[in-house]
Amino acid sequence: MSGRKISRHAGSGLTDGRSGFSLTWGRRFDSAHADRHTLVELCVVIVVIGILMATAAALLLRARMAGNEASARGTLRSIHTGQIGYAGACGSGSFTSSLVLLAAGPPGSTHGYMPAELGGGAIVERSGYRFTIQ
């Protein structure tokens, strides 16, 4: 191989410029079949896409659960703050046993101790969690 120039042609491997010698790997480049893929290649692509979709779905569910849990903590914080306000203003130091009373507020007031949507009944469902006072 002394003095021979070795070049690489698109898709055909290594060649020394002579027509008889060529070192190839993979498929030879053929312009008539350049846009065709084998069934194995397509199956590999489909499997990779499936794995990526499964991973993305798991991450989406985990993010949704974390969001719902954060919302539930916020709801509990609102109920707790409302109970503290009720105990100080109307309850003579004791808490109420009703979400409706917390949402209604003190007599003569237009604002409750917590948001009105949390006082819609004895049991309030929000973000997949049920809240009640017992």
> CB–CB of 91/74 below 8 Å?
no
Token pair listed for 13: 């491997």
Strand partners, 15: 7, 22
Residue 96 pLDDT: 87
Mean of pLDDT values over 95-106: 86
Mean of pLDDT values over 8-34: 55
How far apart CA 114 and CA 102 sit, in angstroms, is: 6
Instruction: Map residue 113 onto helix, strand or coil.
Output: coil
Percentage of the residues of the chain whose pLDDT score is greater than 90: 31
Residue 17 pLDDT: 56
pLDDT tens digit string along 39-73? 888 999 999 999 999 999 999 999 999 999 999 99
Helix (H) / strand (E) containing 132: strand 129-132
Q: What is the 3-state secondary structure (H, E, C) of 13-37?
A: EEECCCCCCEECCCCCCCHHHCCCC
pLDDT of residue 10 exceeding 70, the answer is: no
Q: How confident is the model at residue 21 (pLDDT cuts 50, 70, 90)?
A: low
How far apart CA 39 and CA 100 sit, in angstroms, is: 64
Give Cα separations from 32 to 28, 52, 103, 122, 134 (angstroms).
11, 33, 75, 74, 77
Residue 127 pLDDT: 85
Residue 69 pLDDT: 95
Mean pLDDT of the chain: 80
pLDDT tens digit string along 109-132? 888 888 888 888 888 888 889 998
Domain boundaries, the chain: 1-35, 37-132
* pTM (predicted TM-score): 0.60
